[in-house]
A and B are shown apart, each in its own frame.
Chain A
């Protein structure tokens, strides 16, 4: 390879304002026109983006100590329960948490108008959030009940920590059944009435570094409109999925755990969502810069929608019952055209992930890097990739009654 560039070299160029940054969408044409070698020689960084629902998201909060002190035992933020099983005034609020009073699916399909994701959006928007909490009281933490309100700016820490974001590829959901179903992939009309997908395709971070050659622990990223970092590989990280010659997995594969300071983030990029009949969640804006270290990385970043395939899965029977198999593969160019063919039938498609949002994120990250306010970071350690040989486990379901001799 003729191009051999380090992250340090790139950062020097960022400092002197000479860095060349393109989005993962823009770079496709450049590589087509100039070829890999020349493109790699010219472009230093490619920016990516994704803006989709990411259920495994949440925020650690430290509210500061009350007078007298309280060790929070049960806590609710705007009625939504937060996990208090950590230190006295620390909480973790998850995106899918629901108020105990929410009717959920008792009147199916439930609306799930307000959950953890919405509280996070309200916090980032600077709105006052109500705290209702109780405790059992101790010698050091005597207070047993507190009702108050606070704003994000008034508390100590608010650290967004999302255990699983930025899924590398995802299922295309359809419904082979005879009744409408309500899923985390949206409303699926009967008899394969629509096909819903959820990835930015060619702009999506992990499609531009499919083997995780540059993204590692400590990689600095765009997170929720602020600066964040890759903390770890995400839960359910599965790099062992079957891949094409281009390294792109043909189904849901890698994931990232990400972390960042909620106080710098923007409500525009952290949006509470309500999925009819399913639940509440958070739409997260996330973007990762890919350093063009050599022609190989340039090749990965030139990936086009038509080279990325996703499996069509039946969410009426196959997905909920964990039955193997799918209804074939389609590529993101077909998906984004608005119409795919599933078993000979033309099916309209819709996305749950905002491609326009992904584009805007990649553009913002590009501007941050060009203006010198965002430097690339050297990963502290790599993330497990294909060679890790990870096998995704399923839940052990033992007969506990038998074990107890009942």
Chain B
């Protein structure tokens, strides 16, 4: 069994294709969509968790690539600049998944990337602006 959080980027010409349908029907994968959006350039971004057999998962990835989709790891989409973080903790009540959490009694902020769903709320909630996203995400903000 594989369980993986990924980001799919759709070029404008396939943004209207029923891609998820094929992932379920043809590859027997379980799909949990975390976030989906389309920018003014009609590029799509889909963040989801896929689970299923290793073989089907790998086949699905190949198929997605053949369709012209770009596949990225969901972790690494949001970057915690620990050098900028002042460890106040303001982000920890805004993060909906506790990916940003507060260690006690150290009273320091920690970022657990694998819990992040790239909601991007932390980017503006951090007064010291210690949270950053990839340049490629700029068109989706």
Residues of chain A touching chain B, judged by Cβ–Cβ distance below 8 Å, are 51-53, 109, 111, 113, 186-187, 189, 193-194, 196, 271, 273-276, 281, 283, 336-338, 348-357, 359
CB B129 to nearest CB in A, in angstroms, measures 6
Q: Which of B108-126 contact A (CB under 8 A)?
A: 108, 124-125
Which residues, 25 to 83 on B, are CB-close (under 8 Å) to A?
Answer: none
Whether A355 contacts B107 by the Cβ 8 Å rule is yes
Evaluate whether A186 and B90 lie within 8 angstroms (CB atoms) in the complex, with A336-B104, A355-B107, A356-B107 already known: yes
Q: Are A356 and B90 in contact, with the CB atoms below 8 A?
A: no
User: Are A186 and B129 also in contact (CB < 8 A) when A338-B104, A350-B89, A352-B90 are?
Assistant: no
Pick the most buried of B89, B106, B107: most chain A CB atoms within 10 A of its CB.
B89
Q: Which residues of B contact A (CB under 8 A)?
A: 86-94, 102, 104, 106-108, 124-125, 127-129
Name A337's closest neighbour in chain B (CB-CB): B104
Give the Cβ gap from B102 to chain A, nearest Cβ, in Å. 6
Q: Which residue on chain B has the smallest CB distance to residue A281?
A: B127
A350 touches B90 (CB 8 A): yes
- Picked from A53, A109, A187, A336, the residue with its CB within 8 Å of the CB of B107 is A336
Contact B128 A283 (CB under 8 A): yes
CB distance from B138 to the nearest CB of A (A): 14
Q: Report the nearest A residue to B127, measured CB to CB.
A: A273
Measured CB to CB, the closest approach of chain B to A363, in angstroms, equals: 14
Cα A196 to Cα B94 with chains together (Å): 11
Chain B residues lying within 8 Å of A187, measured Cβ to Cβ, are: 90, 94, 125
How many angstroms from the CA of A274 to the CA of B131 in the assembled complex? 12
Q: Are A351 and B89 in contact (CB under 8 A)?
A: yes
Q: A274 to B90, Cβ gap below 8 A?
A: no
Distance (Å) between the CB of A172 and the closest chain B CB? 12
B107/A359 in contact, CB under 8 A: yes
> In the complex, which residue of chain A has the Cβ closest to the Cβ of B124?
A276
Q: What would be 14 A-B contacts, judged by CB atoms less than 8 Å apart? A: A51-B86, A109-B124, A187-B94, A273-B127, A274-B127, A281-B127, A283-B86, A337-B104, A350-B90, A351-B89, A352-B88, A352-B127, A357-B86, A359-B107
